[in-house]
Chain A
Amino acid sequence: MSVKTLMINGQMVSASEDQTLLDVLRENGIELPTLCHLDGLTPIGACRLCLVELAGSNKLHPACMTRITEGMEVTTHSERLVKYRRMILELLFAERNHFCSICVINGQCDLQQMGYDVGMDHVRFEYQCPAVEVDASHERFIMDHNRCVLCTRCVRVCHEMEGAHTRDVMGRGGSSRIITDLNQLWGKSGSCTGCGKCVQVCPTGALFEKGRSAAEVVKQRDFLVYIKTAREKHLWIQ
């Protein structure tokens, strides 16, 4: 395996030629936001968050899909890229119905975390508020299209790892949907093995296990003591 030398943000870096640019960046401690990328799945460059500038090219290139070449000059955080990454995230939030406050994955969501990472304090685009469906027909899982960002992690894990190819993408642009089999209800699918891999890889609350939120209810019976003693202990003042 031959070694290539490239310049990343003005720093000389060497890497082996079979690595993607994203791998090399991460190996060198340069963090880029990603949503569609997941170690173990074939990269597809769908979310566009890892876009970088390459010297000599007017286009922006997704790092996850870019093979490194000798002498490549890469910029990862130019003003333009930082601006575009935030715009991409805002567009993702504006496209479907992302209500963090009532979402099952609130607090553990990759999309939410990306928003924090790029400092997104509001969305400048008009919310599309599409009327999309929730498929709760499966015995154990739910697909909520309101939260889907079309990263296709579920499609790829089902095809590449489980070998079932239950999922695919239907439609184009804003009307694209992740479908089960030939656009059937999940609960009626003949190919789904119920393995739950799609649920595990989903970066948002679009795929989740039934009953999770109920199971998470924890009674906090020590609140009485808190109320009675919090003032003396100054528990609410740091």
Chain B
Amino acid sequence: MDSIMGTETPGNANHRARPRIATLWLGGCAGCHMSFLDMDERLMDLAPRISLVYGPLVDRKEFPDQVDVVLVEGAVANEDNLHHLQEARKKSRLLVAFGDCAVTGNVTSMRNTQSSAGVVMDRSFVENASLHPGVPRSGGILPRLLDRVIPVHQAVPVDLFLPGCPPSADLIFYLISELLEGRSPDLSDKLKYG
């Protein structure tokens, strides 16, 4: 695996900038992001060594160019998820499926036992509604659900898989540290589902 160290800054070939890390939040509960925050004081170690350029923890609207590593939490459940994921894939060198929803679909994909998104929407907004039953149909407000929730690797190529619900803070720190050292993290003896 390529080292993520040193994205070269234009105009200064010898100066190596800090690796640009992004996180993406798709169809998941944000628990993986909470586990990221659970790195606690180790975040202070990481802070001077990386640039956190995008994610729910960063106030930025558009996914930036030339990202070195993106951690993708959540499954691909709707058209927005799919769009954001494809955008992130195009602009990132290394994409990590981050947590069980990203890796397997997990709880987000439990609705797949129903035949289509329509059935799920009817169940939620019509059958179980006591006031004003009806599926919201105004365009541009709610992203359309995909008929099937899929794990990240069924939508775009994935470089690394980090299962866990959520992956422990230790594991996230290990993964990022290894990448910062230019090594490929070996998770084979650290796997944990659920």
Q: Interface of A with B (CB < 8 Å)?
A: 93, 97, 99-103, 106-107, 112, 115-116, 119-124, 126-127, 129-132, 231, 236-238
Interchain nearest-CB distance for A198 vs B (Å): 23
B114 within 8 A of A: yes
Cα–Cα distance between A115 and B191 once the two chains are bound (Å): 8
Q: Which residue of the partner chain A has the closest CB to B31?
A: A101
**Which B residues are in CB contact (< 8 Å) with A132?**
113
Q: Which of B3-11, B80-88, B98-106, B138-146 contacts A (4 or more CB under 8 A)?
A: B98-106
CA distance in complex: A132, B113 (Å): 8
Q: CB distance A237 to B41 under 8 Å? A: yes
Which B residues fall within an 8 A CB radius of A? Answer: 38, 40-42, 97, 100, 103-107, 109-110, 112-114, 148, 151, 153-154, 158, 161, 163, 165, 169-170, 187-188, 191-194
> How far does the alpha carbon of A101 sit from the alpha carbon of B163 in the complex, in Å?
11
- Answer whether A129 and B42 are a contact pair too, CB < 8 Å, given A100-B193, A100-B194: no
Does A97 lie within 8 Å of B100, measured CB to CB? no
- Asked if B113 and A131 make an inter-chain contact with CB atoms under 8 angstroms apart, the answer reads yes
Smallest CB–CB gap between B187 and chain A, Å? 6
Residues of A within 8 A of B187 (CB): 121
Whether the pair A107, B194 counts as a contact (CB closer than 8 A) is: yes
Q: A112-B194, A236-B40 are in contact. Are A99 and B113 (CB under 8 A)?
A: no
Contact B163–A121 (Cβ < 8 Å): yes
Q: Check if A122 sits within 8 Å of B191, measured CB to CB.
A: no
Residues in A neighbouring B105, C-beta threshold 8 A: 127
Partner of A122 from B104, B110, B112 at Cβ < 8 Å: B104
Question: Would A112 and B193 be within 8 Å (CB), given that A101-B165, A129-B109 are in contact?
Answer: yes
Specify the main secondary structure of chain A where it touches its partner.
loop
Residues of chain A within 8 A of B151, CB atoms compared: 122-123, 127
Which residues of the partner chain A approach B192 to less than 8 Å between Cβ atoms? 116
Listed A/B pairs (6) with beta-carbon separation below 8 Å: A99-B194, A100-B165, A121-B161, A126-B154, A130-B113, A237-B41
Asked if A101 contacts B100 (CB within 8 A), the reply is yes
| Minimal Cβ-Cβ distance residue in A for B154 | A126
Residue of A whose beta carbon sits closest to that of B97: A122
Q: A120 CB to closest chain B CB, in angstroms? A: 7
Contact status B161-A122, CB under 8 Å:
yes
Chain B residues with Cβ under 8 A from A99's Cβ?
Answer: 104, 106-107, 110, 194
- A residues less than 8 Å from B114 (CB atoms): 131
B10 to chain A: closest CB distance in Å?
36
Residue of A nearest to B104 (CB): A123
Q: How far is A112 from B83 in the complex, measured between Cα atoms in Å?
A: 32
Q: Please give, as numbers and ranges, the residues of chain A lying within 8 Å of B38 by CB-CB distance.
A: 236
Known contacts A101-B100, A102-B107, A127-B112; decide if A121 and B194 are in contact (CB<8 Å).
no
